Amino acid sequence: MAVDVTIIGAGLGGLMLARVLHVHGIPATVYEAESSPAARSQGGMLDIHDYNGQLALKTAGLMDEFGGLVLEGRQAMRLLAPDGTVLFDKADDGTGGRPEVQRGELRQMLLDSLPPGTVRWGHKARLVRSLGEGRHEVEFADGGTVVTSLLVGADGAWSRVRPLLSAATPEYTGKSVVETYLFHADTRHPASARAVGGGSMIVHTPDRDLFAHREKDDTLHAYAGLTEPEEWFAAIDFTDAAAATTRIAREFDGWAPELTALITDSDTAPVLRRLYALPAEHRWDRVPGVTLIGDAAHLSAPNGEGANLAMLDGAELGEALAAHPDDPEAALHAYEQAMFPRSAEAATMEGGGADDPVPHDLIAAYSQHEESRQDARRS
Ligand SMILES: Cc1cc2nc3c(=O)[nH]c(=O)nc-3n(C[C@H](O)[C@H](O)[C@H](O)COP(=O)(O)OP(=O)(O)OC[C@H]3O[C@@H](n4cnc5c(N)ncnc54)[C@H](O)[C@@H]3O)c2cc1C
């Protein structure tokens, strides 16, 4: 293949694409806005599914390295009621298809698998323009430019490459999450640590929920979910950590103390993450010389699939380019025709596939029960 593939964004999608191209001897350059791999905490755990994320890792030849990152026992799953009653409790018996890893370690593994210099840090794409005949010019925030005949937008939710293909922009989903961390939980927050258990814990009601993970070194990482308009969150000053914590915790009044402690006892300031999504059926007509992967193509409300899909997109696009060395347009077409229906289906999923340990039926039934209980209380 004669062209050097230009990838914007060194997230899991962009790095996976660069890795699979490298495996096939195809050069690629990744331009990343952040100044270094350590510029931002990559926090959080990801379960990597055997039907998408792991397929990508196999294609990349990185299954052994991935195996070394897996945190044992983290596929355990609990569903609790707001009063702390355990509704469902599944231990990790080692047979699940969704091993958990730290996102930062997975990203570092991909970085380590690339030739030095592949990623150009501190290159924030500011503007991308078409030069015709499938060529594009990328202008960076520092004024530098690069011209390419094969451009891939792997630059996430607010992609600068997407406007070349589509007028769609992400819209607020109606829900946001507030992120907290409790460190050394077994000794410092034992009741919350027991409530979360060895893996993940979910408490779900119609407009409030709590999701928590046991990460490395008995860190509890929690997301308090609130279905509220953006203006509701705008009225809270998140620069005042104590006041924001009190305000958010008030929304969980009456919940078991070991659950509310996941908010009130946070060792870090609460971080608001507004959740946006592209239309589930987002797609575009083929434009020569450019495509999108990952969130740039199909941002959806978090459902455990996004990082997995980003990696699968990257791997499949890399394979397609390797299979059509003299016809990149055929490669982009083949990649997009598989990606569009896959991501549309995933966008409407509440969780993963058939082996999903999250009992969505139980959550739905419990949610319905809670809703009618609240209706009865109101009337
Ligand atoms: C709260 C929350 C929880 C989630 N939990 C899960 C989960 O458990 N499992 C799961 O599979 N998914 C999860 N996701 C989704 C997942 O994080 C994303 O789908 C995934 O990170 C997408 O990967 P990506 O490579 O497409 O984009 P990103 O990870 O967003 O990477 C994009 C990269 O591009 C860079 N970039 C952005 N703009 C520019 C620019 N203009 N120029 C150059 N570089 C740029 C960014 O700095 C970044 O490095 C979660 C998302 C959220 C918000």
Over residues 285-334, the pLDDT tens digits come to 999 999 999 999 999 998 999 999 999 999 999 999 999 999 999 999 99
Are 11 and 121 in the same domain? yes
- Span 128-186, pLDDT tens digits: 999 999 999 999 999 999 999 999 999 999 999 999 999 999 999 999 999 999 999 99
Q: How far is the CA of 190 from the centre of ligand 1 (A)?
A: 32
Q: What is the CATH number of the domain that holds 269?
A: 3.30.9.30
Are 183 and 326 in the same domain? no
How far apart are the C-alpha atoms of 212 and 203, rounded to whole Å?
9
Confirm whether 243 is domain-assigned.
yes
Those residues whose C-beta lies under 8 Å from the C-beta of residue 368, and which sit 6 or more positions away, are: none
Q: What is the CATH number of the domain that holds 61?
A: 3.50.50.60
Are 237 and 293 in the same domain? no
Q: How far is the CA of 307 from the centre of ligand 1 (A)?
A: 7
Q: Ligand 1 atom closest to Cα of 307?
A: 11
What's the confidence (pLDDT) of residue 2?
58
Nearest to 8 by CA among 171, 169, 158, 134: 158
Are 250 and 198 in the same domain? yes
Confirm whether 151 is domain-assigned.
yes
Domain-terminating residue out of 234, 262, 277? 277
How far apart are the C-alpha atoms of 325 and 89, rounded to whole Å?
50
Domain-terminating residue out of 251, 277, 303? 277
Are 199 and 238 in the same domain? yes
Atom 39 of ligand 1, nearest CA residue: 155
Are 265 and 204 in the same domain? yes
For residues 18 and 7, is the Cβ–Cβ distance under 8 A?
yes
Q: Is the dihedral of CA 349, 52, 213, 15 positive or negative?
A: negative
Q: Using most ligand atoms within 8 A of CB, pick from 6, 46, 164 the residue to mutate for ligand 1.
A: 46
Are 131 and 185 in the same domain? no
Atom 51 of ligand 1, nearest CA residue: 302
Are 117 and 17 in the same domain? yes
Domain-terminating residue out of 257, 277, 297? 277
Are 320 and 267 in the same domain? no
Confirm whether 379 is domain-assigned.
no
Confirm whether 334 is domain-assigned.
yes
Read off the pTM: 0.92
Q: How far is the CA of 133 from the centre of ligand 1 (A)?
A: 30
Q: How many domains does the chain have?
A: 2
Confirm whether 235 is domain-assigned.
yes
Q: Ligand 1 atom closest to Cα of 305?
A: 11
What's the confidence (pLDDT) of residue 354?
40
Are 50 and 112 in the same domain? yes
Q: How far is the CA of 296 from the centre of ligand 1 (A)?
A: 9
Q: Digits of tens for pLDDT over the chain (379 positions)?
A: 557 799 999 999 999 999 999 999 999 999 999 999 887 776 688 999 999 999 999 999 999 999 999 988 888 999 999 999 999 999 888 888 899 999 999 999 999 999 999 999 999 999 999 999 999 999 999 999 999 999 999 999 999 999 999 999 999 999 999 999 999 999 999 999 999 999 999 999 999 999 999 998 899 999 999 999 999 999 999 999 999 999 999 999 999 999 999 999 999 999 999 999 999 999 999 999 999 999 999 999 989 999 999 999 999 999 999 999 999 999 999 999 999 999 999 988 764 444 444 555 555 555 555 555 556 555 5
CA distances from 46 to 22, 200, 288 (A): 25, 11, 34
Helix (H, G, I), strand (E, B) or coil at 268: coil
Domain span at residue 264 reads 171-277
Confirm whether 369 is domain-assigned.
no
Type and span of the H or E element at 131: strand 125-132
Are 40 and 119 in the same domain? yes
Which amino acids bring their CB within 6 angstroms of ligand 1? 8-14, 31-34, 46, 124-125, 154-156, 160, 177, 273, 294-296, 302, 304-308, 310
Nearest to 155 by CA among 299, 308, 38, 301: 299
Q: Using most ligand atoms within 8 A of CB, pick from 119, 121, 295 the residue to mutate for ligand 1.
A: 295
Are 176 and 164 in the same domain? no
Q: How far is the CA of 32 from the centre of ligand 1 (A)?
A: 12
Confirm whether 217 is domain-assigned.
yes
What's the confidence (pLDDT) of residue 365?
53
- Residue pointed to by tokens 């150009």: 120
Confirm whether 105 is domain-assigned.
yes
Q: How far is the CA of 295 from the centre of ligand 1 (A)?
A: 6
> Hey, what are 369's tokens?
């029960």
Atom 19 of ligand 1, nearest CA residue: 306
